[in-house]
Structure 1
Amino acid sequence: MKRLIGLMAATFFSLSANAALVKINFDGEYYKLGDTPNAFHQSISGIKGYAIYESDTPGTVFGVTDTKNYRGALRGFGFEIYGDAGTVFSGEKTVADGARGFGYVQIRNLPGIDSFGLADIDLTPDEVVGGPDSLVRAGFTFRIAAKDAKAIDNSDLPGVFDPTIFNGQRNISLFLQRSPAVPGEIVSFNFNFWNLEDVTVEAVTQNVPEPGSLALLGMALAGVVATRRKPRLGAR
């Protein structure tokens, strides 16, 4: 019995899939334009956060052959916008294992326009802390680009990559949708990654059992239980 369970366990883990998750860490500085009051009514200095995407997400051609969108690739996103007095605005969005992701990754491999971007990252009021009054959603867009157009060899979604190759535009933007809107208050914020080390990329290891593996294991265990309960001939 113990040997059989051991064999089944070995089979189960051998059939598990290793999800190709990639984590991007970022730390940007707020690029302020003028002294217009912002929606938080506080000074803002920068943003720290992360994004996790699954590199196995299938892509679709967008507009031109060498641009692809990988919709639903994002598995997690977290951020903290801070100022002189500490955290101003923060939040996190994640999806359960096996569920469809959110947002999308866009890869562009064109002459002079090589770029890696994350878009449609929308957080609702219940996914954030410190949001301004009448907040409907907080939308983020992340982009790093290359000046020499040699950062990307093709438009496939990459696993772990070297973000320092993207030596052009490097920023993340935030847009706050409010209803009703408040005239005269900034709701669009831009944070720049001035230093190459402001963006880092790492692999995230996570074992995800395939549905077929779970079904096989369940059927095998059910068979073992049924066998043990069946009375032997001649037993009293």
Structure 2
Amino acid sequence: MKLKLIAAAVALFSWTASASAVYVETNEANGEDSLQTILDGITVGGSSSIDVNADQADPDDVWTNTDSGISPVRFVAEIAGNAGINSFGIYDPNNPGTMFTIFGGAATPGALADFGLDSDGSVFADLGGGFSDTGVDFSSTDFGFFMSTAGNTFYSQTLLNPNGGDQMVAYQGGNGDSIDLPGFGNPSPWTEGGWIVAFEDQIYSQSDKDFNDLVVFIESAVPVPEPGTLALLGLGLAGLGAARRRQKA
């Protein structure tokens, strides 16, 4: 019975972790490298252990800094007609109009920046000239990612996007891969503290769904669990505990 309870708990957690996966197109009929090809291309010694459809992180809506409180961000790829105007940055989940741009339209693969949030929500960044207070203040230390393009801004929080579409996917390391990022210089392990974040730059329902339009690598950041997911998991575990107590009785 104990093993059954553990299995049920794992199944419940797995269900919550995969409930919102979005389809990523891997066909390259348009002649562009797919997101899967991009990940395979930065992987040393073979194909990536990541499957862009099966291994999406969930949740990936809201994030926070970890470790030192500073998150390095490296521009990996941008395959888009709007490459010259697309921009990437962070925003305040409690006030999405409060934003800070990390990479502008002129950024190219290999570009590097660092950002972090102080305990009062102040955004600090190093875009090449040393760390400084950007003058942008968030309401907390949480943040989301955004991509701005021609006529639209897309957010990591799906509820902020047109038709509630999922415009961003994220993938966590820790599977034993080594990667060679543009501009990095040397291959290094892709640890669980590193994330690939990739955006689709057209409204999802009208797009080619390739998510290769802007790809970045981020370290020392972690998704914030969604309250609804935690509540659901808590209810499920409580139910399993009650069943266990009844079994003992």
- Do both proteins adopt the same fold according to a TM-score greater than 0.5, normalized to the shorter chain? no
- TM-score w.r.t. the length of structure 1 is 0.30
Larger gyration radius, structure 1 or structure 2: 1
- Normalised TM-score (structure 2): 0.29
Structure 1 or 2: more helix by fraction: 2
- By percentage of residues, which structure has more strand? 1
